Amino acid sequence: MPQAELVVVANRLPVDRDDSVEGGWRRSPGGLVTALEPVMRQAGGAWVGWAGQADHAPDPFDFDGTHLVPVPLSDEEIELYYEGFSNDTIWPLYHDVIAAPRYRRVWWDAYVKVNRRFAEAAASVTADGGTVWVQDYQLQLVPRMLRELRPDLTIGYFHHIPFPAYGLYSQLPWRRQVLEGLLGADVIGFQRVADAGNFARAVRRQLRYDTRASGIVVPEADGTTRVALAKAFPISIDTQSYVDLAQRADVQARAIEIRKSLGDPERILLGVDRLDYTKGIRHRLKAYGELLEDGRLRVEDVTLVQVASPSRERVAAYVQLRDEIELTVSRINGDRDTMGHTAIRYLHQGYPREEMVALFLAADVMLVTALRDGMNLVAKEYVAARADNRGVLILSEFAGAADELGTALRVNPHDIDALKDTIVRAVEMPAAEQGRRMRALRRKVLDNDVAKWSQDFLLALDQARTRTS
Ligand code: G6P
């Protein structure tokens, strides 16, 4: 087995199966994958993850300069570890119990077992004294398991979703084990300062460990202590690729075509989300529907395009959410549509990046109304695409991106009246104000791209290594 100096461990591999391309795999569209590609190529890195199909793990293979190590998951493990513990326990609990988390012991058992499998796979491909970077809530136990298997490694963990306040976190029957799992890492990264603070507080309350600034003093089995760093590293996007796409003539032509096909409304509002109850899609539809009903907006003048990409379709809360949203959309459209104009163009589909950027260029107002969101990269993508300094971003204060994107129109999505007023304000905003706000937003997103994020995190890990060696 080849040994790598840098190993990423994530629930999913950075590729998707596609039999129409040579080799049968294509790179996944996400920003994390794009950001790490040059780093992995340079380091001759390896990536440990699930290939996305049940009971089917191909042998390790090389892709774009990275060694990919598939971890098998059976159909039952997908149900218990991925759909169950990851997405029906941790996901709702960490997103402030917007949906009720379910605590099932068989799910936990599967989570432990699968985390161990990922840890063992990582342990077997990492070179002596190498670095492993674990990603996200599906793998919170991996840092500790890996440290026990390979004390020579430097271990990082990045948490892509929120970390909840202690009052909620303490519901988790396995709250100690999860904290101990995470504290196996030398550096634990969070999206917001508040998430790192919640984590440190949970550690103090639950484990009684000392915390000093961002450092947590972790006692080890041999009686020694070490300091783990827990701090914010807000993630971003590969900004330049959005800027480049937005400047392509075919993408700009497509934006005009989209506008035309919607009947050339004066204003296009846009929502782009995974179909998830954390995204506040219902709140957005409620506010918009009322604005049409009140006559403050007219269907002849505005259209809302809502892209809701399919997600976790076998988890009950997602099935129910889809039903509710589709009922609401068809009610609003049934009441408000005319032959020539639609209130909401609803698309339960995923699209390639080119089409998304064309949509961003066509959209006068971008609606990000998440009830809780680790970061929300769509907000950053919209800003990156608007090289013309036009367009208005409405941004929930409960999205991590709100910490950085201060000149967006901030909104509390639970306050429907305020959301309605903010939508009207965005629809009516003069071009000069749009430009002022968008320029400031763009500076943030251009200066802080995902390459900088990964450099900052890896630098912190490197410093952790020199501290302990
Ligand atoms: C969020 C999580 C990721 C996850 C993604 C898609 O962004 O932080 O870890 O990969 O959602 O969800 P899925 O369940 O399809 O992997």
Question: Please, are residues 178 and 103 in contact by the beta-carbon 8 Å criterion?
Answer: no
| Mean pLDDT confidence for 152-171 | 98
Per-residue model confidence (pLDDT) at position 215: 97
CA 374 vs CA 91, 94, 137, 398, 410: distances in Å? 11, 9, 11, 9, 16
**pLDDT(242) > 90:** yes
Of the candidates 205, 165, 134, 237, the residue with the CA atom closest to the CA atom of residue 447: 237
| Cβ neighbours, 10 Å, residue 333 | 16
Task: Assess whether the C-beta atom of 12 lies below 6 angstroms from ligand 1.
Answer: yes
Better pLDDT: 82 or 1: 82
* Residues 6+ positions from 365 with CB-CB distance below 8 Å: 267, 268, 269, 270, 391, 392, 394, 423, 426, 427
Per-residue model confidence (pLDDT) at position 31: 65
Top CATH class of 239-447 equals: alpha beta
Give dist(CA 304, CA 343) in Å, integer. 6
Task: Assess whether the C-beta atom of 159 lies below 6 angstroms from ligand 1.
Answer: no
Task: Assess whether the C-beta atom of 273 lies below 6 angstroms from ligand 1.
Answer: no
Question: Please, are residues 409 and 435 in contact by the beta-carbon 8 Å criterion?
Answer: no
| Mean pLDDT confidence for 86-111 | 98
CA 50 vs CA 10, 57, 317: distances in Å? 8, 8, 24
Share of the chain above pLDDT 90, in %: 93
Task: Assess whether the C-beta atom of 160 lies below 6 angstroms from ligand 1.
Answer: yes
Q: Dihedrals φ, ψ of 136, to 5°?
A: 75, 170
| Mean pLDDT confidence for 377-391 | 98
Length of the chain: 469
Domains 4-235+451-468 and 239-447 alike in fold: yes
Q: What is the pLDDT of residues 101-132, one digit of tens each?
A: 999 999 999 999 999 999 999 999 999 999 99
Q: Which run of H or of E encompasses 8?
A: strand 4-12
Please name the residue that has the structure tokens 């020579």.
152
CA 23 vs CA 15, 56, 68, 252: distances in Å? 11, 16, 13, 32
Q: How far is the CA of 91 from the centre of ligand 1 (A)?
A: 10
CATH 3.40.50.2000 is held by the domain 4-235+451-468: yes
| Mean pLDDT confidence for 191-213 | 97
Task: Assess whether the C-beta atom of 136 lies below 6 angstroms from ligand 1.
Answer: yes
**Has this prediction a pTM greater than 0.95?**
yes
Of the pLDDT bands very low, low, confident and very high (cuts 50, 70, 90), residue 417 is very high
Of the pLDDT bands very low, low, confident and very high (cuts 50, 70, 90), residue 34 is confident
Mutation pick for ligand 1 pocket among 47, 311, 376 (CB with most ligand atoms within 8 Å): 311
Q: Strands 211-212 and 215-219, how do they pair?
A: antiparallel
Q: Looking at the DSSP assignment, which residues form a beta bridge with residue 138?
A: none
| Mean pLDDT confidence for 304-308 | 98
**pLDDT(201) > 80:** yes
Give dist(CA 210, CA 200) in Å, integer. 9
- Mean of all residue pLDDT scores within the chain: 96
**Distance, CA of 217 to chain centre:** 29
**pLDDT(282) > 80:** yes
**pLDDT(5) > 80:** yes
Per-residue model confidence (pLDDT) at position 167: 98
**pLDDT(469) > 70:** no
Domain range list for the chain: 4-235+451-468, 239-447
The amino acid at residue 215 is G
Please provide the DSSP assignment of 398-442 as one string.
Answer: TBGGGGT-TTSEEE-TT-HHHHHHHHHHHHH--HHHHHHHHHHHH
Question: Please, are residues 228 and 218 in contact by the beta-carbon 8 Å criterion?
Answer: yes
| Cβ neighbours, 10 Å, residue 345 | 17
Give dist(CA 27, CA 252) in Å, integer. 25
Per-residue model confidence (pLDDT) at position 296: 98
Q: Looking at the DSSP assignment, which residues form a beta bridge with residue 393?
A: 366
Q: Dihedrals φ, ψ of 465, to 5°?
A: -65, -45
Q: What is the pLDDT of residues 347-369, one digit of tens each?
A: 999 999 999 999 999 999 999 99
Q: Whose CA is closest to atom 6 on ligand 1?
A: 311
Of the pLDDT bands very low, low, confident and very high (cuts 50, 70, 90), residue 88 is very high
Mutation pick for ligand 1 pocket among 8, 136, 312, 318 (CB with most ligand atoms within 8 Å): 136
